Amino acid sequence: MASQSKLSAGHARTVRGIISELTKLYLHNRTRISRAVWITLFVALVNRVRAAIAEQKAASQREAEKRAARKGIIQAVAAEKDDGRGKKKKKKVELNREFFRSLLRLLRIVMPGWRSKEMRLLISHSFFLVIRTLISLKVAAMDGAIVKSLVKGDGREFLTRIVWWMLIAVPATFTNSMLSWHQAELSLKYRARLTQFIHDKYLSQLTFYGISALDDRIKNPDQLIAVDVAKFSNSLAELYSNLAKPLLDMVSIRNL
């Protein structure tokens, strides 16, 4: 028993001595050990970032190669279709003599005469465009008067100008509503005229059969009649308003 206790005491002293020496060694070289740990962590972080960047570049390169391959396949298929069918590239629409000639022909279809409903709507639409121009000039003058009374510090005149400015908003709102109604009504009339004209041509002399079975230059004619005619009618109704309003503004400003 005595020998066992001596051995355990000697072993404990040895362990304590080793721990003490290691502690002294760490305290003596603590700065160097800390630097070595930080340098190791920094090097590991740099290697990790470099590996992530390399993986990202490789993935991007693979994706670019896939896109290029898909694009090449699509272009090859399109070239084969063009070669097989012998189609030509579509010409871009230009503002040339042919464009204005076609537009004039369409205008004769949608507006057959001076006594037509479309012409009466167009004249009424022009009248409200003039009214809106006059209201815009009046509102601009009233804005200047309101600012003038505000600068002078005349509270009574300022309130009076504000009241008149609010009252003129009633006819201005009515005019804008009538312009929107006229534009929508003109678009509807244009669409009805064009659709009726196209149907008369399309359903006469077996034209629909020739377009669908014998001539493949026009794809989905029914969809073109339903969709493109509506888009053209809306654009034509907007075109007059978008051209007439700036012209009226310039004429009114020049007269002032």
Together in a domain, 247 and 124: yes
- Average pLDDT value over all residues in the chain: 76
pLDDT-based confidence at residue 8 (cuts at 50, 70, 90): low
**Within a domain: residue 89?**
no
Together in a domain, 123 and 232: yes
Distance CA 195, CA 203 (A): 12
Together in a domain, 128 and 70: no
Together in a domain, 117 and 207: yes
Check residues 182 and 20 and name the one with the higher pLDDT. 182
Provide the percentage of residues in the chain whose pLDDT is more than 70. Answer: 75
* Least confident stretch, 40-54, 145-159, 211-225: 211-225
pLDDT-based confidence at residue 7 (cuts at 50, 70, 90): very low
> Residues 54-103: pLDDT tens digits?
777 777 777 777 777 666 656 655 555 555 554 445 556 566 788 788 88
Together in a domain, 119 and 76: no
Distance CA 234, CA 216 (A): 28
> Residues 183-225: pLDDT tens digits?
889 899 888 888 888 878 777 776 665 666 555 666 777 777 7
Check residues 8 and 233 and name the one with the higher pLDDT. 233
The rounded radius of gyration (Å) of the Cα atoms in the chain is: 42
Domain end, chosen from 84, 115, 144, is at: 84
Q: Where is mean pLDDT largest: 25-34, 171-180, 191-200, 217-226? A: 171-180
Distance CA 135, CA 143 (A): 12
Specify the number of domains making up the chain. Answer: 2
pLDDT-based confidence at residue 249 (cuts at 50, 70, 90): confident
**Per-residue DSSP letter, 191:** H
Together in a domain, 127 and 24: no
Distance CA 62, CA 57 (A): 9
The amino acid at 108: R
Together in a domain, 151 and 58: no
Residue 165 has pLDDT above 70, yes or no: yes
For range 128-153, the mean pLDDT:
85
Q: Where is mean pLDDT largest: 119-123, 202-206, 220-224, 246-250? A: 119-123
For range 116-136, the mean pLDDT:
88
Q: What's the predicted TM-score (pTM) here?
A: 0.55
Together in a domain, 66 and 114: no
CA dihedral sign, ordered 14, 16, 22, 27: negative
Provide the percentage of residues in the chain whose pLDDT is more than 90. Answer: 1
Together in a domain, 105 and 71: no
Give the domain range for residue 37.
2-84
